[in-house]
């Protein structure tokens, strides 16, 4: 058997792969939960939730949003206020991907639904207004067609697991 340069490279790479350390992670708190907790305190916020259909278009966070995603567009002025490091590029907004829990104020015994910030909304109503995708709107309100009503009173809070009294 002849030893070649490609054999030597293969041996070196194999040794490097097997010598890589195994890193243990603490899964008790996700990175998104930590980011949300560090960015914002306060809430829950009462707001108007409106409905929009992104149809796979790209949101302010730079990723496509399907109508079936549990995604929100946040009031543009609020969204942009958290992007102090890269104000010219909302794709780098630290709120992108942050979870929020939304609960209907119009549905008796409503359960909160977790969604993720993926877009900004220049036309959202009020200081804390949000736009919901069709799937999210239905999950929050229980209505099969959110376009019939159009606007909904909700409360929302950053993070997937807010205190039960919210």
Could you tell me the CATH number of the domain that includes residue 79?
Answer: 2.40.40.10
Residue found under tokens 């809070």: 157
Report residue 18's pLDDT band, with 50, 70 and 90 as the boundaries.
very low
Residue 93 located in a structural domain? yes
pLDDT per residue as tens digits for the range 22-47: 333 333 344 444 444 445 555 789 99
Residue 148 located in a structural domain? yes
Q: Check if the beta carbon of residue 103 is closer than 8 Å to that of residue 153.
A: no
Residue 10 located in a structural domain? no
Residue 14 located in a structural domain? no
pLDDT per residue as tens digits for the range 47-104: 999 999 999 999 999 999 999 999 999 999 999 998 889 888 998 999 999 999 999 9
Residue 21 located in a structural domain? no
Structure tokens at 81: 């206020």
Split into its structural domains, the chain has a count of: 1
Structural domain containing residue 69: 43-158
């Amino acid at each position: 058997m002849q030893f070649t340069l490609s054999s030597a490279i293969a041996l070196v790479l194999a040794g490097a792969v097997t010598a890589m350390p195994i890193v243990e992670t603490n899964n008790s708190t996700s990175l998104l939960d930590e980011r949300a907790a560090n960015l914002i305190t306060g809430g829950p916020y009462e707001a108007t939730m409106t409905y929009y259909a992104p149809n796979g278009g790209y949101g302010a966070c730079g990723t496509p949003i399907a109508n079936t995603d549990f995604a929100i567009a946040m009031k543009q002025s609020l969204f942009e206020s958290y992007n102090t490091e890269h104000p010219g590029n909302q794709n780098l907004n630290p709120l992108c991907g942050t979870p929020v829990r939304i609960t209907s104020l119009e549905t008796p015994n409503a359960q909160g639904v977790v969604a993720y910030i993926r877009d900004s909304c220049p036309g959202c109503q009020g200081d804390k207004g949000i736009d919901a995708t069709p799937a999210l709107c239905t999950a929050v309100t229980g209505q099969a067609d959110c376009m019939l009503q159009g606007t909904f009173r909700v409360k929302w809070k950053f993070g997937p697991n807010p205190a039960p009294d919210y």
